[in-house]
Amino acid sequence: MKQKYVLGIVALSLVAILGVGMVSAFGFGNGFMNHDMTEEERTAMQEQQEAMQIAISYGDYATWKSLMEEKIAKMQSQITEENFNTIREQHQEMSEFRTAMQEARESGDFSKVEELQEEYGFGKGMKAGFKLGRGDCPRSE
């Protein structure tokens, strides 16, 4: 019975570690604030994410902690009212889009669905347009 309990705790710990690793590797730093990064900045960020993944896989807490602190310091400098307003605008536009799409689908107006997808930048396969959290959603005129 104790062995099952210990195995359960180990399994939950691994899930938690993987979750933290995914957030640190793909989460907060990839948001709207990085849409205008230079290629060098993108490369540096990718290298930092890879270093975090390596630290996690080797159980190197000190390195992981240092990298996280560095990442948090960078993020804090990007917490501005302007960025908040950008997020808010994107949220409002996406809400409007979802509502309009739902109404068009419910009414069976599939030409309106296509029109909305085009207006909001959704191309074939929805590869273009809103990129939630990336700050580069198109503005409708």
For residues 7 and 120, what is the distance between their CA atoms, to the nearest angstrom? 49
- Kindly report, residue by residue over 19-70, the tens digit of the pLDDT: 555 444 444 444 445 556 788 888 988 999 999 999 999 999 999 999 999 8
Q: Which residues lie below 8 Å from residue 52, measured CB to CB, with a gap of 6+?
A: 21, 24, 25, 64, 67, 68
The whole-number pLDDT of residue 88 equals 93
Contact status, residue 97 vs residue 116, Cβ threshold 8 Å: yes
pTM of the model: 0.43
CA distance 46 to 23: 14
Quote the CA–CA distance of 40 and 34 in Å, as a whole number.
12
